[in-house]
């Protein structure tokens, strides 16, 4: 890095959650970070470059005081890293957002205000006199519609003008402060009773380097960890309420001076939002949405698109062509044989079947999911689905946000494990991961399963869904009772309903798909090589024989061992394998339940290990063997002993009845 770059000033984007900071960041720095229509999309900082500045995107925060983890991150950046800030403000929420603006100005942080969402303000009938606002605040204010790029040029041009007024009225509170050598930023936080700042002041005998500098960060951190001041006396001004009250009044005054609200009535989107979170109307809407998703992903993509790719593109063209090339390029020698087997065997050849599974099966499903999820995220429907399902899921130890991984899981458990990131606490992530791994079939598998059960009759399908829901419920309750802690209530600010921007949805999908391929493809390749090697050495047959006792327990033939083996790799392989076996209806039923409850596929396992930890992964893996065979054996016994007796009894009753009336 050149000196030039080293000494660049840092500009931090700060503001409330979901106001468009990341969109502004993307427009200014010309690099993409995740943008979604719910608060808390950004959980970490991202750096970029804009002209001569280093730009930092931060998680949303309602202020600079350290009330939550996100606010702590933002506070540290504002205090220790940023030379100036762009304060992104939602023009429709001035009463909420200007509080932080005034706080920044009280702290003396050089600021430019980006007055974002001007389009929505206009739609709501809100008029803002931007010049008057600029005069009131004493810093540049730039109206923007970040998603359309409006105002971004001006924002960039006015960055050098970032400033803070010399006096804001906070100064009169400073007179009560003890004699400490700190800058205005920390003085402001001190009179607001910001604990980490107070502790750091108490800790630092010789006060602070002034103004704010990187050294202070270390001092702050040390203080944060200690939790107690070295000399025991932490400064408390007791003036927080006074300072906040004062600031709130000023927010009110500013708004009175600059904003005019026309009367527009309730917008359509808001009325729809009300319908969605009311259980009575929301449930059918949610079911309809889930139905559409299921149709799009389970039927259109999983069956039509994937079938076409597998049967035509790979079956007729790609695989034969590649096999031809490999066999003609490799010399005919003994030592070549295993290599050729690894590359092109029908089971999991590295350059044939493996490529087919990644590009022909997984890729289309993954893209379809990301598109659907992107639309759900950007429209604001996701958090509403969450609120709606909050109650039911609370009973199994999850909050409503867990619905998202569950929905995603019916498509692909591997993907869903990633989305558990949004499920709140560690405990909830653990439970939802466990339930996903245990009893949520993925759509590729579900397609095959539905086909098999459909040939047996509707009753079997209902029974299958019933068994899975039963297992989910029992497992959820057991996990909820045994894991320490309690589920958090769902606290989420409902974002506004918005029409998703196709560009953002596509961009997000593209980024996520790229990440998926980068992570999954190499793993799949390695797995394929391992399995093929085992196959070549004859290990597959031996394993099948070893599994005999288990398959017997289920009342299934020895060939089911091979299905289990396939299931270790991917559950849909197992489902497909079932179609090749000669089985009776109850055997098919038991087999399908077992492979659904069986261990998560290898990719899911890798993801679980990556997202959780080794212990969780092992417990889940071993646990699913137990649950799958426990439930399977119980069902098999039921079919062998209970069903015939019930049938006989019912038959007897009917015969008696017939005899009586006859």
Residues that bind Mg ion (CB under 5 A): 21-22, 41-42
**Contact criterion met (CB below 8 Å) for 368 and 458:** no
575 has binding-site annotation: no
> From ligand GTP, Mg ion, none, which one binds at residue 356 (CB under 5 to 8 Å depending on kind)?
none
Distance of closest approach, residue 611 Cβ to ligand GTP, in angstroms: 21
Give 92 or 352: the residue with its C-beta nearer to ligand GTP: 92
- Give CA–CA dist 473/491, Å, rounded: 24
**Contact criterion met (CB below 8 Å) for 441 and 567:** no
- Residues whose CB is less than 8 angstroms from the CB of residue 479 and which lie 6 or more positions away in sequence, other chains included: 396, 397, 430, 431, 434, 435
Distance of closest approach, residue 97 Cβ to Mg ion, in angstroms: 15
Angle of CA points 414, 615, 409, to nearest 5°: 20
42 has binding-site annotation: yes
Q: What does the block give as tokens for 36? A: 């979604």
> From Mg ion, ligand GTP, none, which one binds at residue 147 (CB under 5 to 8 Å depending on kind)?
ligand GTP
> From Mg ion, ligand GTP, none, which one binds at residue 420 (CB under 5 to 8 Å depending on kind)?
none
Give 87 or 624: the residue with its C-beta nearer to ligand GTP: 87
**Contact criterion met (CB below 8 Å) for 86 and 24:** yes
> From Mg ion, ligand GTP, none, which one binds at residue 108 (CB under 5 to 8 Å depending on kind)?
none
> From Mg ion, ligand GTP, none, which one binds at residue 109 (CB under 5 to 8 Å depending on kind)?
none
206 has binding-site annotation: no
> From ligand GTP, Mg ion, none, which one binds at residue 551 (CB under 5 to 8 Å depending on kind)?
none
Give 42 or 419: the residue with its C-beta nearer to ligand GTP: 42
Distance of closest approach, residue 60 Cβ to ligand GTP, in angstroms: 3
In the complex, the residues that contact ligand GTP under the rule CB under 6 A are 17-23, 35-37, 39-42, 59-60, 116-117, 119-120, 145-147, 378, 498, 501, 504
- Give CA–CA dist 633/590, Å, rounded: 8
Distance of closest approach, residue 41 Cβ to Mg ion, in angstroms: 5
Distance of closest approach, residue 389 Cβ to Mg ion, in angstroms: 25
SS3 content of the chain, % helix, strand, coil (to 5): 65, 5, 25
Q: In the complex, which residue's CB is closest to ligand GTP?
A: 60
Give 120 or 544: the residue with its C-beta nearer to ligand GTP: 120
**Contact criterion met (CB below 8 Å) for 181 and 210:** yes
> From ligand GTP, Mg ion, none, which one binds at residue 39 (CB under 5 to 8 Å depending on kind)?
ligand GTP
Distance of closest approach, residue 41 Cβ to ligand GTP, in angstroms: 4
- Give CA–CA dist 27/50, Å, rounded: 9
Give 21 or 570: the residue with its C-beta nearer to ligand GTP: 21
- Give CA–CA dist 124/118, Å, rounded: 10
Strands 126-128, 259-261: pairing kind? antiparallel
Count of CB atoms situated within 10 Å of the CB of 527: 18
Phi, psi of 619 (to 5 degrees): -60, -45
18 has binding-site annotation: yes
- Give CA–CA dist 102/255, Å, rounded: 12
117 has binding-site annotation: yes
State the binding site for GTP.
Answer: 15-22, 40-44, 57-60, 116-119
Q: Which residues are annotated as a binding site for Mg(2+)?
A: 27
């Amino acid at each position: 890095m050149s000196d030039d770059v080293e000494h660049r000033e840092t500009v931090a984007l700060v503001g409330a959650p979901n106001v468009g900071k990341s969109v502004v960041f993307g427009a200014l720095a010309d690099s993409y970070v995740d943008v979604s229509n719910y608060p808390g999309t950004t959980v970490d900082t991202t750096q970029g470059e804009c002209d001569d500045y280093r730009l930092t995107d931060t998680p949303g925060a309602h202020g600079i005081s350290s009330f939550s983890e996100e606010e702590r991150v933002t506070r540290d950046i504002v205090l220790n890293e940023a030379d100036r800030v762009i304060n992104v403000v939602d023009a429709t929420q001035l009463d909420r957002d200007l509080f932080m603006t005034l706080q920044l100005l009280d702290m003396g942080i050089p600021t430019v205000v980006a007055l974002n969402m001007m389009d929505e303000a206009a739609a709501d009938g809100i008029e803002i006199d931007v010049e008057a606002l600029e005069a009131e605040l004493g810093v540049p204010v730039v109206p923007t519609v970040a998603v359309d790029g409006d105002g971004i040029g001006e924002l960039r041009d006015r960055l050098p003008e970032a400033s803070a007024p010399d006096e804001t009225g906070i100064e009169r509170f400073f007179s009560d402060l003890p004699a400490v050598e700190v800058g205005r930023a920390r003085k402001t936080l001190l009179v607001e009773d910001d604990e980490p700042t107070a502790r750091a002041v108490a800790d630092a005998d010789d006060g602070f380097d002034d103004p704010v500098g990187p050294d202070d960060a270390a001092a702050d951190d040390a203080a944060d960890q200690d939790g107690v001041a070295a000399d025991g006396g932490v400064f408390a001004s007791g003036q927080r309420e006074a300072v906040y009250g004062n600031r709130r009044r000023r927010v009110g005054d500013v708004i009175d001076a600059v904003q005019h609200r026309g009367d527009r009535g309730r917008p359509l989107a808001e009325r729809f939002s009300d319908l969605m979170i009311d259980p009575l109307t929301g449930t059918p809407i949610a079911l309809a949405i889930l139905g559409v998703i299921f149709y799009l992903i389970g039927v259109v993509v999983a069956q039509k698109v994937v079938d076409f790719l597998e049967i035509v593109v790979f079956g007729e063209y790609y695989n034969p062509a590649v096999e031809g090339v490999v066999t003609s390029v490799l010399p005919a020698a003994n030592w070549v044989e295993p290599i050729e087997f690894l590359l092109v065997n029908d089971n999991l050849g590295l350059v044939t079947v493996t490529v087919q599974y990644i590009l022909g099966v997984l890729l289309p499903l993954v893209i379809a999911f990301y598109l659907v999820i992107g639309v759900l995220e950007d429209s604001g429907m996701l958090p509403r689905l969450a609120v709606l399902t909050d109650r039911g899921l609370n009973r199994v130890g999850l909050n409503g946000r867990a619905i998202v991984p569950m929905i995603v899981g019916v498509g692909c458990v591997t993907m869903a494990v990633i989305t558990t990131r949004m499920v709140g606490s560690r405990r909830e992530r653990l439970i939802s991961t466990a339930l996903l791994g245990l009893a949520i079939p993925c759509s590729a598998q579900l397609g095959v399963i539905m086909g098999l059960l459909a040939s047996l009759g509707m009753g079997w399908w209902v029974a299958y869904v019933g068994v899975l829901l039963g297992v989910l419920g029992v497992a959820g309750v057991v996990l909820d009772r045994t894991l320490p802690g309690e589920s958090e209530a769902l606290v989420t600010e409902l974002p506004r309903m918005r029409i998703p921007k196709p560009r953002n949805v596509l961009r997000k999908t593209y980024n996520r798909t790229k990440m998926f391929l980068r992570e999954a493809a190499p793993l799949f390749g390695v797995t394929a090589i391992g399995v093929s090697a085992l196959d070549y050495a004859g290990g597959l047959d031996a394993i099948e024989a070893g599994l005999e006792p288990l398959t017997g327990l289920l009342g299934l033939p020895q060939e089911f061992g091979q299905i289990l083996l396939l299931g270790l790799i991917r559950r849909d392989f197992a489902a497909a394998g079932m179609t090749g076996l000669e089985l009776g209806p109850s055997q098919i039923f038991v087999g399908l339940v077992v492979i659904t409850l069986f261990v998560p596929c290898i990719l899911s396992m890798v993801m679980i290990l990556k997202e959780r930890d080794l212990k969780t992964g092992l417990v889940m893996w071993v646990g699913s063997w137990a649950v799958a065979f426990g439930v399977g054996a119980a069902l098999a016994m039921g079919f062998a002993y209970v069903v015939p007796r019930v049938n006989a009894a019912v038959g007897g009753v009917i015969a008696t009845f017939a005899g009586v009336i006859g």
